[in-house]
Amino acid sequence: QQQVKQSPQSLIVQKGGISIINCAYENTAFDYFPWYQQFPGKGPALLIAIRPDVSEKKEGRFTISFNKSAKQFSLHIMDSQPGDSATYFCAASTGGYSTLTFGKGTMLLVSP
């Protein structure tokens, strides 16, 4: 049973455009929502994360928007660059001793 649904599976954006990746969850006990970035042949790395007490978090060109009532959160990449081309994973956890549950990933390609 997939607890975190991520879309789209792949995305092509022109340089300078906005990339948007969406995730939805069912478990209302989730209280931590990170995004990981993975380049080919490498392990994922934490990009940005949010907790449900805020609706938005911004770090540079990367923004997480969080909608608690809709049980959805999204990653926005402003002014997308070719170097942003990677696979992005959303995830969620209930904190404490719980483990992260990952979405299936979105392969982003930013065309020059």
Partner 1 sequence: DGGITQSPKYLFRKEGQNVTLSCEQNLNHDAMYWYRQDPGQGLRLIYYSQIVNDFQKGDIAEGYSVSREKKESFPLTVTSAQKNPTAFYLCASTSSKGANVLTFGAGSRLTVL
| Chain contacts with partner 1 (rule: CB under 8 A) | 6, 9, 32, 34, 36, 41-46, 49, 89, 93, 95-100, 102-105
Of 13 and 30, which CB lies nearer to partner 1 in the complex structure? 30
* Nearer to partner 1 among residue 43 and residue 83 (C-beta): 43
- How many residues would you count in the chain? 112
Taking the C-alpha atoms of residue 32 and residue 94, their distance in angstroms, rounded to an integer, is: 7
Angle at 56 between CA 51 and CA 62, to 5 degrees: 105
List of residues 6+ apart from 5 with CB closer than 8 A:
23, 24, 25, 103
Q: Which is nearer to partner 1, 2 or 14 (CB)?
A: 2
- Shortest Cβ 106–partner 1 spacing (Å): 10
Q: Is the separation of the CB atoms in 91 and 4 below 8 Å?
A: yes
The distance of closest approach from Cβ of residue 9 to partner 1 in the complex, given in angstroms and rounded to an integer, is 7
CB of 6 to partner 1, least distance (A): 8
